[in-house]
Structure 1
């Protein structure tokens, strides 16, 4: 098995027709994204950690709703302590602090080399599927203004941006695991809008923290195995739409910055294998600092995962470096 280095121009641009990006896309821009578990990053006490364990979930929204409902039961049965509300407050504060730890402000990365190169990649990609829930992709498409993310004002009068699945465009973005700027509001899936919401905030990251403080939890799936993630996806109208769109892909897809772990990403692997009209998987492999046996082992693993598809390997840094030329000449 060999690793190809695509030519600058048509070959590289062809690889960007359908793209799946993972955490490596973000880590390449900021090492702050190099973490394994948001729950572990949260400064939770022993009891609050046990709550996540007993509920067998890492879904913050589910845990918070459970605490709110438990507090309602307390009031019905005339219990006067505020144990559940206190836990709600602690977990909420921990989540806000964790987001502050992992997420840089835009001005901190705006001029970084890899941010500019990844932004060029996004600008030339047609359909982007992301399992990241950070703000980087949002910032990039906001600057480009050509990608549709299926949120619009068409069906509501109050100016909020709501999930609108029938928006058509050649360039599309799908947040497979949700994102920090998406949230549930009275049964609707909505998106924060910078022009409407940032008048009194210094940044959208600060705005997200305030939204959490007000009880509006971001819509994102950060942890759990593939089966747990798929269950959460299928129970949400927007996430299910994104997942079905992945299964409906045709031709080929390029996987960039994504390990496709067989345990935590099994739902993504299943969707790609289940895509009957998808014939080829282009897997971008990061080789720096890896020995040849380790690289070959990774290539064998990916080939095995997609035994029913054609699998082609590309050097991820070559693709990123090609963006330098494309940025100026295309």
Structure 2
């Protein structure tokens, strides 16, 4: 029996707790995000030299952030001990420049997506929590769009003024300064706006203007920080990377497992490499899940229902809605 594909307006009143955004959400904003992996893009365009590829093979990973951090740390150790090692530094520079060029190739500029931001803002402000699996700047730009326009609602990512993430993140749910409501935003796999310095301190790069993307890349190029995001890998590799970060591990252990009764999923394909996210939500109290569907894809609905039954329980009510219906995401 085929599943009913509803309109977002038919069910939106039942869902105001949490929305989880996958790569399909970013692709809806810009087709430039339709890539298989950052590493694949770099190799396809001959941006990554052979000796740098050897690092990925040796560490058995496709995660740019991990390789860049490993080589950067080795370079800093050699510098501190005054060990001459031009080859390690050269490898770091090549991986860094490759990542910068790849991000420049893939990520759209602010002016290319700005017309989408009002719709995204209106959609996201209907939730208490936003969980974005995407490391791009789309959600961050949507948050900034509303910052100077709408004082009654506030988006908060729980980073305080010095750019450091607050471990007491639940306190940010309380409205202040005349706000009527708040939405907390988290990045379980990191984001371009997040970085680490040479002693592994993590912080957010603060810029609200349209030059944020270039500002981030300049930070990387200045050799003062490395990015904090998990771009590729199996679920085991991703969980290992998550556990090596205070911010990511806090989101993974506390935010994903926190109490919620409803969950909306937009643009996430339920891939095996990210199934750890649903596993962390087991026992969080989810009673209803709404999943965005592309063009009435019944095979996708069958797969989703089986996955939700397996990880969240068979008593969870599942609604499917047209991902292009009015009022959801960019529509």
TM-score band by shorter chain is 0.7 to 0.9
Q: Secondary structure at the match of 1:8?
A: helix
Q: Secondary structure at the match of 2:111?
A: helix
Greater mean deviation of Cα atoms: 49-58 or 67-76: 67-76
CA distance in 1, matches of 2:88, 2:62: 18
CA distance in 1, matches of 2:80, 2:215: 34
Match 2:307 to one of 302, 311, 323: 302
CA distance in 2, matches of 1:203, 1:161: 18
The reply to whether residue 316 of structure 1 matches residue 316 of structure 2 is no
Q: Secondary structure at the match of 1:315?
A: strand
Task: Give the aligned partner of residue 225 of structure 1.
Answer: 234
- CA offset at residue 180 of structure 1? 0.1
CA distance in 2, matches of 1:107, 1:73: 40
Match 1:149 to one of 142, 157, 161: 157
Match 2:192 to one of 172, 180, 190: 180
TM-score (norm 1): 0.83
CA contact (8 A) 2:128 2:183 kept: yes
Task: Give the aligned partner of residue 97 of structure 1.
Answer: 101
The reply to whether residue 136 of structure 1 matches residue 146 of structure 2 is no
Q: Residue 302 and residue 210 in structure 1: after superposition, are their counterparts in 2 closer, same or farther (change >3 A)?
A: same
Q: Residue 150 and residue 78 in structure 1: after superposition, are their counterparts in 2 closer, same or farther (change >3 A)?
A: closer
Q: Secondary structure at the match of 1:312?
A: strand
Greater mean deviation of Cα atoms: 220-229 or 308-317: 308-317
Task: Give the aligned partner of residue 212 of structure 2.
Answer: 204
Deviation per CA, 1:122-144: give whole Å up to 9, x if none: 12222101110000000111122
Q: Residue 16 and residue 76 in structure 1: after superposition, are their counterparts in 2 closer, same or farther (change >3 A)?
A: closer
- CA offset at residue 91 of structure 1? 0.8
Task: Give the aligned partner of residue 32 of structure 1.
Answer: 32
CA distance in 1, matches of 2:250, 2:83: 42
Deviation per CA, 1:160-191: give whole Å up to 9, x if none: 32111324224211111110001113433211
Q: Secondary structure at the match of 2:307?
A: helix
Task: Give the aligned partner of residue 67 of structure 1.
Answer: 71
Deviation per CA, 1:95-130: give whole Å up to 9, x if none: 000010111111111114xx4432321122221011
Deviation per CA, 1:200-224: give whole Å up to 9, x if none: xx71111111011012111100100
CA distance in 2, matches of 1:121, 1:78: 53
Q: CA RMSD in A?
A: 2.8
Q: Residue 245 and residue 193 in structure 1: after superposition, are their counterparts in 2 closer, same or farther (change >3 A)?
A: same
CA distance in 1, matches of 2:36, 2:187: 19
- Structure 2: gaps spanning 5 or more residues: 148-153, 174-181
CA distance in 2, matches of 1:246, 1:46: 39
Match 1:279 to one of 283, 287, 303: 287
Task: Give the aligned partner of residue 15 of structure 2.
Answer: 15
Q: Residue 130 and residue 72 in structure 1: after superposition, are their counterparts in 2 closer, same or farther (change >3 A)?
A: closer
- CA offset at residue 69 of structure 1? 4.9
Match 2:203 to one of 190, 195, 199: 190
CA contact (8 A) 2:16 2:262 kept: no
- CA offset at residue 270 of structure 1? 1.1
CA distance in 2, matches of 1:148, 1:120: 15
Aligned residues: 306
Q: Residue 192 and residue 80 in structure 1: after superposition, are their counterparts in 2 closer, same or farther (change >3 A)?
A: closer
Q: Residue 300 and residue 12 in structure 1: after superposition, are their counterparts in 2 closer, same or farther (change >3 A)?
A: closer
Q: Structure 2 matches for 1:249-268, cutoff 5 A?
A: 249-262=259-272, 264-268=273-277
CA distance in 1, matches of 2:80, 2:244: 29
